[in-house]
Structure 1
Amino acid sequence: MRGFITLLLLIIGLCLQSAGMAADKSVIAVIVANDNPSKSISLGELKLIYWRKKTYWANGQRIHPINLPSDNPLRLQFSSSILGSAPSAQNDYWNGLYFHGVSPPHVLYSDEAAIRYVQETAGSIAYADACKLDNRVRPVLWLLPNGEISTNASSISCN
């Protein structure tokens, strides 16, 4: 009986811990400039952009993807959900492409820096906390805390 109670308490503790970890995640908005002709973006297209396999928008404009630092919680969430791996696991990929003239996405150090860069740089794309956005940029996709992708802003709640 004592073993059963210990096991039950362990399971409850793990459930509470995983619920707390999910609560720490933010809604991430993938953003482009207001004048970017792309009204939406697919998950597949976003992956290609961030792996630098798609480098031009449909109108011929060069794509400038932006990342946050590798230890930033939004970057960790974005990388694991969208790219399928942690930033540290991507180093070998980028090291291999370096000698072919392909560099990883440029890194900016805050949501605000990413928002300003996208606002001021034609063809750029980035991600930021959805609750920090304003009318300077346009979101084209949302990554919800549960890992789901949404194209509908009404599913976003900022408290």
Structure 2
Amino acid sequence: MPKEISLADVKDLVGSEVGVSDWITVDQAMIDAFAKATLDDQFIHTDPERARNESPFGGTIAHGFLTLSLLSAMNYSALPKIREQTMGINYGFDKLHFVAPVKSGARIRGHFTLAEARFRGGAMLMNTYDVTVEIEDEKKPALTARWTTISQFNPEDRPEDV
């Protein structure tokens, strides 16, 4: 996949895997920082010894919402930049499922398939991705989701044939 594409190229990518992100290590420091930022310090996330002894996970796990929030970083490393885009906006998620826990120290990466791309108004392209976050050396993914984003662009850059 090229690192950069034009607005006119996007429609040809529907149905294709358009990117696989770099690996991200989800370590205890990241989990602790997320817990502090979100005020969610449940022991299964922040107390390694207690989580090892009292949880079914054998240690601490990342918050599901931490994994979800890392999709932005995965997006940046995986998806081709749309040349004409002036701004990207999160629109929302459908069918979001936290399938398997991400244990502290695990590496994860995102797989992005462009499910739909449609122009909206004169200066927006809505992109819908089927996303899977893989956990290295695990059979089940951390999460699956359908994610819609908006690529904002100048109206004069809109392709003629859409």
TM range (shorter): under 0.3
Return the TM-score normalized by structure 2: 0.23
Higher RCO by CA contacts (8 Å cutoff, separation 6 or greater):
1
The TM-score, its normalising length taken from structure 1, stands at 0.24
Compare the two structures and name the one with the higher helix fraction: 1
